[in-house]
Amino acid sequence: MLTDHVERYVALRRATGFKFRDSEKKLRSFAQFASPRGEVHVRSETAIAWSAEAKSKRERHVRLRCVRRFAEFMRAEDPGHEIPPPNAFYARATRPTPHIYADDDLEKIVAHAAELGPLGSLRPLAYSTMFGLMAVAGLRCNEVIELRITDFTGDGLLIRETKFRKSRFVPLHETTITQVERYLDARRKVAGQTDHLFVSLRRRKFTQHIVLMTFREVCKRAGIGTTMAGKRPRLHDLRHTFAVRALERCPAGRDQVNRHTLALTTYMGHACVESTYWYLERTPELLRDIANACEGFMAGGGA
């Protein structure tokens, strides 16, 4: 019975625009855990017991939160469902500190990607163009991987229904357009079973795992080791770097800042402007600008 409720709940969430893949797996696992107990309603004790099987405190908290949301939905029509306590496995969410690449590091990444083998293949041009796009346009890895040839218009890229099922148009600088056109000239000479913009040596679209492994290889060749946090440079940090540099170039004036930030939110495909505000704390330059603005506001100079 709980399984039927889960399927109905998942269908509803997807109908409202959520992919809901991870939550679906969790809720199905919970229903399978509760079924041998003969339960047809959500029970807090069972939800906590199932959540406790996760390895980390953070994952236990995520599991219980998932069941809690499901229980809130079910209880609206049937008070027999119990809503588990919110903080039985409390774990404060923390985002990993991004590494902001220096300009010369970005140049090294693109240059060393262009030196990948095999010699004479499409691979080095594909990776140098791909990493360059991510750096100058702030694209997500899966967004680049899913690009089709027809998504390049000559003025920019059409990013189709990615995170949060949002589509957007990403204008590109003329120098970037020239590089993409150069890659496309070579790409059109390569046949394959897919119309994806970037294809592997097997003429198929890249997988995210392969792209991540190649990025690490390129960083190693470029001499880009661990970050200040002691971590290996991440591919997603190209997107973080783009956002921070864009905010650093933000014009002065409150109205201009608001317009600039909103434009950046749209350009990057964020679901809400708060996701863009998070980047304000990422560099000393931005923090200094915020501190100066606060001091001016407290001194009566406005903000």
The domain that holds 131 is classified in CATH as: 1.10.443.10
Look at residue 97 and tell me if it is in a domain. no
- Note whether 180 and 136 are same-domain residues: yes
The confidence score (pLDDT) of residue 53 equals 94
- Tens place of pLDDT per residue across the chain (303 aa): 799 999 999 999 888 777 788 999 999 999 999 999 999 999 999 999 999 999 888 899 999 999 999 999 999 999 999 999 988 887 666 667 788 899 999 999 999 999 999 988 999 999 999 999 999 999 999 999 999 999 999 899 999 866 656 788 999 999 999 999 999 999 988 877 789 999 998 888 999 999 999 999 999 999 997 766 667 889 999 998 998 888 777 766 556 666 777 788 878 887 776 667 666 655 555 556 655 655 655 566 554
- Note whether 221 and 244 are same-domain residues: no
Q: Tell which of 199, 234, 269 closes a domain.
A: 234
Contact 198, 126 (CB under 8 A): yes
- Note whether 199 and 253 are same-domain residues: no
- Note whether 182 and 282 are same-domain residues: no
The confidence score (pLDDT) of residue 247 equals 79
Look at residue 249 and tell me if it is in a domain. yes
Q: Tell which of 200, 234, 268 closes a domain.
A: 234
Look at residue 156 and tell me if it is in a domain. yes
- Note whether 140 and 194 are same-domain residues: yes
- Note whether 44 and 128 are same-domain residues: no
Look at residue 83 and tell me if it is in a domain. no
- Note whether 214 and 245 are same-domain residues: no
The confidence score (pLDDT) of residue 49 equals 95
- Note whether 136 and 170 are same-domain residues: yes
Q: Tell which of 194, 211, 234 closes a domain.
A: 234
The confidence score (pLDDT) of residue 277 equals 61
The confidence score (pLDDT) of residue 228 equals 62
Q: Please give, one letter per residue, the 3-state secondary structure of 60-126.
A: HHHHHHHHHHHHHHHHCCCCCCCCCCCCCCCCCCCCCCCCCCCHHHHHHHHHHHCCCCCCCCCHHHH
- Note whether 26 and 51 are same-domain residues: yes
- Note whether 119 and 177 are same-domain residues: yes
Look at residue 89 and tell me if it is in a domain. no
Look at residue 96 and tell me if it is in a domain. no
Q: What's the domain range around 116?
A: 103-234
The confidence score (pLDDT) of residue 233 equals 82
Look at residue 84 and tell me if it is in a domain. no
- Note whether 153 and 108 are same-domain residues: yes
The confidence score (pLDDT) of residue 81 equals 96
pTM as predicted: 0.68
Look at residue 276 and tell me if it is in a domain. yes
- Note whether 21 and 69 are same-domain residues: yes
Overall domain count for the chain:
3
